Structure 1
Amino acid sequence: MMTLRDAILENQNYVDPDEGMYVVFARKTNNAFEPSSEARILLLTHQDFEIEIADYTNTHCPGFDYFLEMNIIQDFWGDLKANQRINQQEKWVKRLIQYAENDA
């Protein structure tokens, strides 16, 4: 089982191909994303993005919620790593989850 923490920490292993992009979905715990939340990384095609994300989720990964596109995680992760005030991976993971829940 992949956790949300794993998906975030492995973000550099995913390069979007021409036909689509990688998206992270996760199960919420008590209505919130947690580092330990079960996660899935799916490659969505451009046609998949024409479907409402809730409909896509219900069909392809029921019980999961949209978290973020992997390219957004990669950009945000790069910004966190460049910020010297935040120097621990666990803090970075929690900060990214806060961003996804509140600002994305």
Structure 2
Amino acid sequence: MKLIEFLQNTEKIDEESVLYVKRIDGQFLPESEITILNLTEEELEWKTYEVTEKKCPGFEYFMESFLIKEFMEDISSQYPTIEKKCNRLIHYVEFDA
């Protein structure tokens, strides 16, 4: 699944999950492949690079799903298209989070 596809269905997001995304040419993009993990209590204590090494090599930590859902709700009126919302989320993850 691509990041933009994931964001089109935020009402179905399992808020306990964590999103990991694969960069394309060094960047997170709307077309970036994602993996969604439901981590155990023990795994939640691991450093993010340990999770990616053991559970999803080639991916990077992106954000907890409940935060993504909240963020998308907060910007819904400011950004009219899913593409603009996705790009705003990427910018937030890269520079503000």
Structure 1 length-normalised TM = 0.86
Work out the CA distance in 2 between the residues paired with 1:11 and 1:58: 27
| Runs of 5+ consecutive residues of structure 2 not aligned to the other structure | none
Determine whether 1:41 maps to 2:36.
yes
Amino acid in structure 1 at the alignment position of 2:79? I
Amino acid in structure 1 at the alignment position of 2:25? N
Query: Which secondary structure does the structure 2 equivalent of 1:40 belong to?
Result: strand
Query: Which secondary structure does the structure 2 equivalent of 1:15 belong to?
Result: coil
* Number of corresponding residues: 97
Amino acid in structure 2 at the alignment position of 1:27? K
Contact 1:7–1:41 under 8 Å retained in 2: no
Partner of 1:76: 71
Q: CA deviation at 1:7?
A: 1.8
Amino acid in structure 1 at the alignment position of 2:11? Q
Q: CA deviation at 1:5?
A: 0.9
Structure 2 length-normalised TM = 0.92
Determine whether 1:12 maps to 2:11.
yes
Partner of 2:85: 92
Q: Which has the higher strand share?
A: 1
Q: CA deviation at 1:46?
A: 1.9
If asked which structure has higher relative contact order (CA below 8 Å, sep 6+), I would say 2
- RMSD (CA atoms): 1.2
Q: CA deviation at 1:9?
A: 2.0
Sequence identity of aligned pairs in percent?
A: 33
Q: CA deviation at 1:97?
A: 0.9
Q: CA deviation at 1:13?
A: 0.7
